[in-house]
Structures are given as structure tokens and as C-alpha cells.
Amino acid sequence: MNRTLEDIFPHPPQGIDLALFDASRVPSHVAIIMDGNGRWAKQRGKNRLAGHQAGIEAVRESIRCASDLGIRYLTIYSFSSENWKRPEDEVKGLMNLFAKTMLAEVEGLHAENVRVMTIGHKDGLPKKTRKEFDDAWEMTKENTGMTLVVAVNYGGRLEIIDAIAAYAEAMHQALRAGEVPKPLSEEAFSHYLYTADIPDPDLLIRTSGEMRISNFLLWQLAYTEFYCTEVFWPDFDRYELLRALLDYQGRERRFGGVG
């Protein structure tokens, strides 16, 4: 962490004590289900796309703050494989928003040494949206700072099915080459997931008060700590992230053992 806590959180609201934050116990990987854009917009008499647009600033804030704190991986759930069921104009607007946002933000992320990657079925995305995500990866793939993982057209069950298919193909190739396949382990299977070489999330944050994981990182969340907040995503700022991290630091992670 290059900046001081006071620099990162210059105006902590009442009830937050920066002295309680332990910079040495920052989670390596934080995942976020960004929920509540539509309800935020409805409360203000706006359409759902206006809520998604408002949520972009919360994304910027979270990326900036997570990077400043030394979080190594930040995964954001931006569009699930089930979200295609939403109204056509909302989906089209979201895809355009993804493309415009990535185009506008990638140079700044690159300057901050952030690596940008996507997980999910990019082939199902509109050409322009897919191109901006691909270009972001090409520009930033050698960066060594925080990795921003954007889950887009992503489904946890589909990821597991894809991993099984990839494993079966690898075993088929091994048998054709006369090799004896090694027994499958959890560690070996994880290398066939979209998140191969990325550690499992330490902390999952979900906004808007919902208490479900919505087909997100089903394999990877086995021992992740969950934090749910009533705050809608457009109102989620660095201080809300700090609250989540303080809550996380107050827990004892036992991974099935005894404390």
C-alpha cells in the first residue's frame, strides 16, 4: 500500500475508526455482486439503464480503492448468462455501456498498472463489446498490479460444465498419446476453470440486501466470507468497501477446522 489510510479515506463517516483497520490483513481477492441499480433508479423515477450508468462511478471507486489498499484481485459480476432474459433495450444499453466504459477507462487502468481480464463466454457478446474487452486485455496483460476480473456473460454452472469438458478432452488427448492420466484432484480441476491461476475469493460482497449468490463462482466460493449490505450499488463508495473489509477482519477463517 503506497498511500496512507488517511489519503485513501480522508473523510471517514461517523462510526468508522481507521485505527481498527489492519493493512496487513487485506484480503488477496475480493469479489462483488453489484446489485440494486434498477431499484436505485426506480426510487428516483428513472429508467433502469440510468441506474446502470450511475453504477459506473461505484465501479471506478471500488477499483481505485482496492488497488490503493493492495488487494491483488478484484472480481466484479457485471452480466450473468441469465441476464439476457432482461428487456431488449436494457440489454442493448448495457452492452453499449460496457464498451464505452472500457474504452474510456482502460488507459487510466493501464497507467495504474492494473491488469484487466474477463471470464465468461465472450463469444456471445456483441462484436464491439467483445473488442473493447479484448483490447483491454492486450493493453494490460503484462501489468503487475491488481488484476481486475470482469465476469461478463458468465454463469457458474456453465463454467463447471466447461471445465468438465476441458478435462475430458485433456484426458482423451493423454490416452491417445499413450499416457496414464493422473487421478483428478480439486487442485487439478481448478486449473480447467475460467479462473485458473487466480486464488479463490477471500471475501464476497453483495449489495442491495439480497442473500443469494446468483450462479456466481460456485466452485470458488466454497470457503469465501460473505458480506451483504442493504446499500444499492450506485451508492457503494470507498467507505462502504471499508466497512466490508473491517467486518472481514473481525472474522476468524477456519476453512472447516476448529477455532
What CATH number did the domain enclosing 142 receive? 3.40.1180.10
Q: Is-above-0.85 flag for pTM?
A: yes
pLDDT at 224 over 60: yes
Average pLDDT, the chain: 95
CB 64 within 8 A of CB 114: no
Would 21 be classed as within a structural domain? no
Structural domain tally of the chain?
A: 1
Would 83 be classed as within a structural domain? yes
pLDDT category, 186, cuts 50, 70, 90?
Answer: very high
Residue 83 annotated to the active site: yes
Would 245 be classed as within a structural domain? yes
Distance of CA 226 to the CA centre of its chain: 14
Residue 200 annotated to the active site: no
Give the three-state DSSP class for 45: coil
If 0-12 CB within 10 Å is exposed, 13-18 middle and 19+ buried, where does residue 64 land? middle
pLDDT category, 254, cuts 50, 70, 90?
Answer: confident
Q: 54 to each of 4, 128, 235, how far by Cα in Å?
A: 28, 22, 9
Would 10 be classed as within a structural domain? no
Q: Domain range spanning residue 148?
A: 26-156+200-249
Q: Output the nine-digit C-alpha cell for 141.
A: 496483460
The predicted pLDDT at position 181 comes to: 80
Would 20 be classed as within a structural domain? no
Would 121 be classed as within a structural domain? yes
Q: 241 to each of 56, 83, 122, 248, how far by Cα in Å?
A: 15, 25, 29, 11
Would 258 be classed as within a structural domain? no
Q: Output the nine-digit C-alpha cell for 236.
A: 457503494
Q: What does the pLDDT average to over 145-171?
A: 97
Catalytic one among 47, 83, 96, 215?
A: 83
Would 92 be classed as within a structural domain? yes
Percentage of the chain surpassing pLDDT 90? Answer: 94
Catalytic one among 2, 7, 35, 113?
A: 35
